[in-house]
Structures are given as C-alpha cells and as structure tokens.
Structure 1
C-alpha cells in the first residue's frame, strides 16, 4: 500500500511539472500600488507634528544660536555654510565655510554626509537670516543646525558691520506702556501643497519659504503701520515698561503653541514679530511662515527703534566692544586656505551658489 501511494504521488508530481513547463502563459508580476490619501488640513497636520515631536520653536535652546567664539574654537568639526551674497563671501569668509545660495541649501545638505560633522552652522551678515534659515532646517529634521549670532559682523571688524548703522532711537512717539489685549481665538491658516505625506508637505513648505524676503525694517513698518498685527516677543515685565503702540505681548517659548495662543494670530493680515535683537523674531517668523501665516521679522528688533532705552535698562542690545572679534578671514572663492581641507572637497558648482550676475537690492530690503 505504501509503495502504491509513492507511485501515485510521483505521477502527480510529473503531471504538474509537465503542465507548468508546457504552458505558454507567463505570470506577470506587477508592483503593488499604494494609494496614500492626501492630508486634507495640511496646516493643522504640521501643527500637530510640531507639537508632538518636540515643539522645537518653544524649546529651551530656541532660537539655537552659537557665538563666533564657539565657532572659531571648534570650526574644524562643523559644517560651515555661508549664505551671503557671493561677492561678500569672496571679500572675506571663515576658513572652511562653503558659500551656498539659500534656494539651493536643502538640496546641498542632501548631497553631503552631514553625520561627519558635529553641527551645521549657518552664517550670514547679522545673524537674523541665519536664525530664520536655522528654524526652517530644524523644522524639516536638521536638528544639529545653529545660527551664528550677529553673523559675520561678529567675526571680524574688517567685515562691513550692518549692526552699527542700524541700531537707532527714532520713533519714540510710537512707544507706550499701555497693553493691547490679544484677540479671541480663531482659525489657523490654510495651506495647500502637492505633498501627500507630512514629510513631503513640510519639505515643500520649507523649499517655498527658505529664500523668502522675510524681514521688515522699522521704517517700512511705521510707514504701513495699520497693515500689520505686531507681536511683541519679549518678557512681560519689559513689555509693560515700553513697547510699540498696538503691539500684543506673546510669551517667548510658550504662547506660540496649539494649546495656548497661536490661534489668536490673524490669518488675514500681515504679522510683524519683534524681539530684542531680531534673532528670536526671525526664528519665530520662519515657523509661522511654514504654517501659512504672512509673518515678517522686524530687522534688528527693538534695537532698531529704542536702542538707548533698551541699553540703559539692561535689555539685550548690540555692543560692538562685547561682540566683534578679530578672527582670520579667507579671501576668494575657495572655502579653505588648506588645499586638502574637507570643505574644499565637497564644492558642487550646481548646488553651492548661483554663479550669475547678482542685482543687489535696496539695502533696506535685504534680509541678512
């Protein structure tokens, strides 16, 4: 009986092999198509992501600054990215700094092994655009990014100092101690991108906003005062002492959150954010623009219109004698004077900087 069963099993196996080998039909293998539903409320999705993944804008170390002294002490371990105009870079930059256009920055970072560096340092003229860019990059996952405080104005006295000519005391008649109440909570902005996943949406938003002219000067703000909802982003006690008329106080690292006062910001009006020196304001402005708010940072913060008052009351102010170092500058296109330096090996003409004729804008409109 056992032998019979074996013969039957063997015969069936031969029949199966014969059938499959003689068949002219082939079985086509098609990749599985996964249809990812599009996120309907993209702004709210970003908000939830930020809130549930560290809330970086309200982090203890926000706005993630690093001093020129710290950069100088450890620059060989940092990826130094200089986002200034190419002409400024050629006239003098930090040894090892690579000149990258803001529009190309995200693609550039994708092309580099960033894990060989302890930190990514963003460098500009004054630190404000660097704080804006740093905020954008941290939002999309580059958590080791820092802005060099005060920019190249702090690196060397040989670099044209934009801080010295922009601290001011005008518009004293626009100052008051009378508070302005926050409006009632309302809706969040609506954004629409082609992204289907939250990471796609976030990167698209960052690519759209990273090179935006995000700042407003005090002169432009005063000239168009009624067009702006003004956010005062300093301590409450100092807000109560003196602030721009009509400005509304928001507590740094707390108020701008889905669970607190974020929804009191208008979605139908420009928002001007000001802090002490512009770094916090620029960082917050980047966050708000990612979410779809029409936000702008006041260049040089309160230093641009109430410098003497701020200094006499020991607020954060720019002071060249405390800030400006005299570190070495490298002249020319090449990142480092050391031929074998790591920075010299990762230059990519397609990603570093647009080598075209640059038409310089009105200095008052430059976001640096």
Structure 2
C-alpha cells in the first residue's frame, strides 16, 4: 500500500511539473501585442526616459572648427540625394534616408548623428535607431539650417500668428483622461520581433508632420484643434508663461493611457524636434500620431524668451564632385 501511495504521489508531482512547463512555453492569450512590446521595451532600456537621454546636440558642440568635420561621430544625412550632392553637406557625412536609416547604420564605426533640413525628420530617424540598438544616436539640432545659412529653412518658418485658437497665458489645458491602448497587428508574439516590425512600419510610413495652418489640401492643427487630440509637451510653468493651443492636453511625462488611440494625436513642443521623437515613438506603438512642424516657433515666435531659432553658424561644407 505504501509503495502504491508513493507511486501515485510521484505521478501527481510529475503532472504538475509538466503542466507548469507547458504554461511557461505558451504566450498568455490575454496579453496584447501592445503590452508585449511595451513590456519588452521597458525591460530592455527603452523607456521614454532612456530613449530621450542625450538624444540631441548642437553643431557647435561637435564640429572641429579647423577642418569643419565632425570627427567623433558618424554623420548620416537624410536629406534628398540632390540636396546632399549639389547644395552641399558636412564633410565626411554619408547619405542615407529615413526609410533606410537602420539598414545603413550597420556601416557606422562611431556613434551616429543624424542630420536633416531643420531637425524635424531627424527625430524620427533617431528614435528608430535608438529602438534598434543604437542607443547613443543623436540628432543635430536645427539640422543643416544650423550649419550654414545657405541651408537655412528655419527663418522662413518662424511666425507670430496671434491666432484666435491660441489660449493666452496662463493657458487652459484639458484634464487628463484614461483611454484604451491601440491594437497592434503583428506576425509574431515575441516582444523583440514586434518591435522590429513596428520600427520598420514607422520608417516605411515616412515623416509624420502637420502644419499649424490649413494648406490647399491639408488641415492645420491650430486652425482646427478640435479635429485632433493635441498634446502640449511642455512643463506646466511653460504653459502658464505662454498659454497653449485651445483644447490641448499636457501629457508630460508621457503616460500612454492618457492618450486617445482613437484620435490623431498631434504633439507640439518648442521647435518640432522633440515632438518628432515623441511622434515616432507613438507611431511605433500603434498610435496615429503627427508632429507639429516647427513647434511654437511657428506660432508665437516673437513672444518666446528662449527655445527659439536664432541664426545659422558659418561652417564650411562640401559638394559632391561629379
């Protein structure tokens, strides 16, 4: 009898071990792809705080003013090939594109700096790189506009609009709400695999920017704030100083459950460069997100006491020899 009881006990223990082992090998069907990828990112040094740590630098901080090169970095220029070749580029910079930035980065032998026209689209590229293992990739602040005035596209995009949809200081932001997370379609249940797919999808979608004012065929965020979920990515004291776009929320730090996945999320900051990073991050996670191009420099430029475009440097550059 004792032998029989021991046998039954052994069988029971083995059954428990077998079932537990099977559970470990099976993905919980109640865990969404969104939760899987965000948990993976949080566990692997890709929280919002970590992704934004040291992500931007100025030309004056990295240039060698004797050679006008950037010797400590691998400079990737994502402007058009024509502008890179004929208008000019930083000596030593290699041409790439937003769509191919991660693939091309495999050739980098130094930390990467991405440069574009104004610093807008470079934020998307840097976010893609940081989510792909290049955790020290940086954006060149102001883009090539900051390198030399021949490249300046910033000066023509600063404005004092005095728009009716700008809520004057001390501002009035909407109270934060709780929303559902977006749904992500994925061919894999693995966090790393989902992230790989989503970064590729974000890059394939191109730069997601929006203007403040309506265009001939486009809707502006400032002209039509009620059409969007607008997020002011400032500190509270900055809203008190300058005001905000009407209907805007202020979700900073970025809390994902406070963002409406059913709406187009427009993030704005001072210059459009930080909001480009935020927008890329949100699109990777399945949100429909856009960055307000040129930020409030394009809305209340004259009012700004800082965080504003000033002037280009006068650094040398080279053109591609035919």
Normalised TM-score (structure 1): 0.71
Q: Shift in Å at residue 61 of structure 1?
A: 5.2
CA RMSD of aligned residues (A): 2.2
Match for residue 105 of structure 2? 109
Match for residue 240 of structure 2? 240
Match for residue 74 of structure 2? 79
Farther off after superposition, 195-204 or 172-181: 172-181
Q: 1:38 to 1:70 in 2, by over 3 A?
A: farther
Q: Is the 8 A contact 1:229 1:269 kept in 2?
A: yes
Matches for 1:189-268 after TM superposition, within 5 Å: 189-211=182-204, 212-219=206-213, 220-241=220-241, 242-251=243-252, 255-256=253-254, 261-268=255-262
Matches for 1:288-367 after TM superposition, within 5 Å: 288-310=282-304, 314-320=305-311, 324-332=312-320
CA offset digits 1:275-306 (Å, max 9, x no partner): 11111111111111111111111011111101
Distance 2:234 2:321 in 1: 40
Q: 1:200 to 1:178 in 2, by over 3 A?
A: same
Match for residue 46 of structure 1? 37
Match for residue 154 of structure 2? 163
Match for residue 68 of structure 1? 59
Q: Is the 8 A contact 2:51 2:135 kept in 1?
A: no
Larger-gyration structure (1/2): 1
Distance 1:42 1:59 in 2: 22
Q: Shift in Å at residue 171 of structure 1?
A: 4.1
Higher relative contact order (CA 8 A, sep 6+): 1
Q: Does residue 144 of the first structure (1) align with residue 136 of the second (2)?
A: yes
Q: 1:333 to 1:105 in 2, by over 3 A?
A: farther
Distance 1:325 1:180 in 2: 37
Q: Is the 8 A contact 1:168 1:304 kept in 2?
A: yes
- Structure 1: stretches of 5+ with no match in the other structure: 1-34, 335-368
Distance 2:77 2:84 in 1: 7
Q: Shift in Å at residue 248 of structure 1?
A: 0.9
Normalised TM-score (structure 2): 0.81
